[in-house]
Structure 1
Amino acid sequence: MTNAEKGAERGTRARVARLILEHGPINAAALGERLGLTPAGVRRHLDALLAEGMIEPRSVRPRGQRGRGRPAKLFVITDAGRSAFEHAYDGLAGSALRFLAARAGEQAVADFARSQVTGLVRRLAPAMREVPADQRVRVLAEALTADGYAASASEAKSGGEQLCQHHCPVAHVAAEFPQLCEAETEAFGELLGTPVQRLATIAHGDGVCTTHVSPRALSAQRAGPSPGATISPSQTAIETSKETGR
């Protein structure tokens, strides 16, 4: 195999791993369909990723099937596989935040976290003004995916919507400094213009960061902000611009 062929093989294997990270649990047939690979080609890459400890299989019996046939095999990313996608700056970022906390206190870390997500709010606020409210979660998910968070949007069974981040580049740092997750959640609420609640985080050991987005209709029925709720200038700007058509 030439170097070019080896490079192409590694590239395809990385795409398989990325799809499992973003869409797992997922089966081999779905992977082959998304990537245009033959069953044999998918199996070759899956076997290699399994041998490297990047992914692991899960057996799920199809709904309605009792005792007959083999359970369907799905694949999910492992902690080692997720770590392979992590940025190499976790150690430096953690040291910097520990230094900041020691010198200026925990509030300084919270202020820093908010300053980091301010850029996200400023960058996405114009796009949020241009789309209907019921499409904002999808637009946010696409923006987060572009930033490396492998995000997706879906309807929540309990009502409202669900924003999932299948990858977190700062998970190791956020495990030590939850202020990062808290500031990010606040930013989501500002951008979406409706209350949100973080249900799970990769930083706390969950497989996916999950945020529940309250239905806008339910939020609009309230006479005013709920106790303790705040409306930021960014959120006000989004809503005002939408109403005035600017």
Structure 2
Amino acid sequence: MSDRTRTRLLNALKGSGPQTAADLAATLAVTPVAIRQHLDGLAGEGLVDFEDQKGSVGRPRRVWALTAAGHARFPDNHATLVAGLLGGLRQIYGEEGLDRLIALREQEAEAVYGAELDDAPDVATRLERLAALRSREGYMAEVEEDGTGGWLFIENHCSICAAATACQGFCRSELALFQKVLGPGTVIDRCEHLLSGDRRCVYRVTPVAA
């Protein structure tokens, strides 16, 4: 299996979630036969697995997804070090010290994001710019319309998962941060949460009537 195809396949499953071989073949512009061969190879390494989903008619659809080992190919940045540092900080300074660290990180991010978003003409543009910023930080972020006049802000990877696992104050802080930089014209709710067992974090962004 070529390393390039392997990487693209893993990225496609990470970014868009479970898919059939036909879906992956169309996305990657590779033949379905070749995709199935690659998936079999990745399955042999324990990186992907499949589920046969029955439909109303015809044969079941074989849907492929990353395993825990597959997700681990997208690791946290220095995960072990970060978790250890946070544990040490908690021991030395207590929860108050940890809260102060999270607040400082939030303030610094707000300044950086605000500088990029402040001149955006509307919420949709602000979301697209925020997604670009977060993607550069490793979150694989994207924006989708939700069909009701709002949007879904999606992060397919959490590049601070180890820190968030050690202290969920980081998750609360990021929700507050998004609300601040998107402004008072929106309401944001987290509807999927990686640390709650979902495969990604998703935020529903609803415009507020003037």
Pick the TM interval, shorter chain.
Answer: 0.7 to 0.9
Q: Give the letter aligned to residue 194 of structure 2.
A: I
- How has the CA–CA distance of structure 1 residues 137 and 216 changed in structure 2, closer, same or farther, with 3 Å as cutoff? farther
Contact 1:26 1:76 in 2 (8 A): yes
Match of 1:180 in 2: 170
Contact 2:14 2:71 in 1 (8 A): yes
Structure 2 unaligned regions, length at least 5: none
Q: Give the letter aligned to residue 95 of structure 2.
A: E
Distance 1:207 1:40 in 2: 27
Match of 2:131 in 1: 141
Q: Give the letter aligned to residue 96 of structure 1.
A: L
Distance 1:31 1:119 in 2: 39
Contact 2:193 2:200 in 1 (8 A): yes
Task: Calculate the TM-score normalised by the size of structure 2.
Answer: 0.87
Q: Give the letter aligned to residue 99 of structure 2.
A: A
Q: Per-residue deviation at 1:97?
A: 0.7
Q: In proportion to residue count, which structure has more strand?
A: 2
Q: Per-residue deviation at 1:87?
A: 3.0
Task: Calculate the TM-score normalised by the size of structure 1.
Answer: 0.75
The structure having more radius of gyration, on CA atoms, is 1
Structure 1 counterpart of 2:195, from 203, 225, 239: 203
Contact 1:114 1:184 in 2 (8 A): no
Count of paired positions: 207
- How has the CA–CA distance of structure 1 residues 131 and 72 changed in structure 2, closer, same or farther, with 3 Å as cutoff? farther
Q: Per-residue deviation at 1:91?
A: 1.2
Q: Give the letter aligned to residue 198 of structure 1.
A: R
1:34 aligns with 2:36: no
- How has the CA–CA distance of structure 1 residues 78 and 159 changed in structure 2, closer, same or farther, with 3 Å as cutoff? farther
Q: Give the letter aligned to residue 169 of structure 2.
A: Q
1:113 aligns with 2:106: no
What is the identity percentage for the equivalent residue pairs of Structure 1 and Structure 2?
27
The CA RMSD over aligned residues, in Å, is 2.2
1:161 aligns with 2:151: yes
Q: Per-residue deviation at 1:130?
A: 2.7
1:83 aligns with 2:72: yes
- How has the CA–CA distance of structure 1 residues 61 and 144 changed in structure 2, closer, same or farther, with 3 Å as cutoff? farther
Q: Per-residue deviation at 1:158?
A: 6.4
Distance 2:125 2:54 in 1: 34
SS at 1:106's partner residue?
helix
Distance 2:82 2:18 in 1: 31
SS at 1:206's partner residue?
coil
Match of 1:226 in 2: none
Structure 2 counterpart of 1:214, from 194, 206, 210: 206
Match of 2:86 in 1: 97
Distance 2:79 2:99 in 1: 18
- How has the CA–CA distance of structure 1 residues 186 and 80 changed in structure 2, closer, same or farther, with 3 Å as cutoff? same
- How has the CA–CA distance of structure 1 residues 137 and 59 changed in structure 2, closer, same or farther, with 3 Å as cutoff? farther
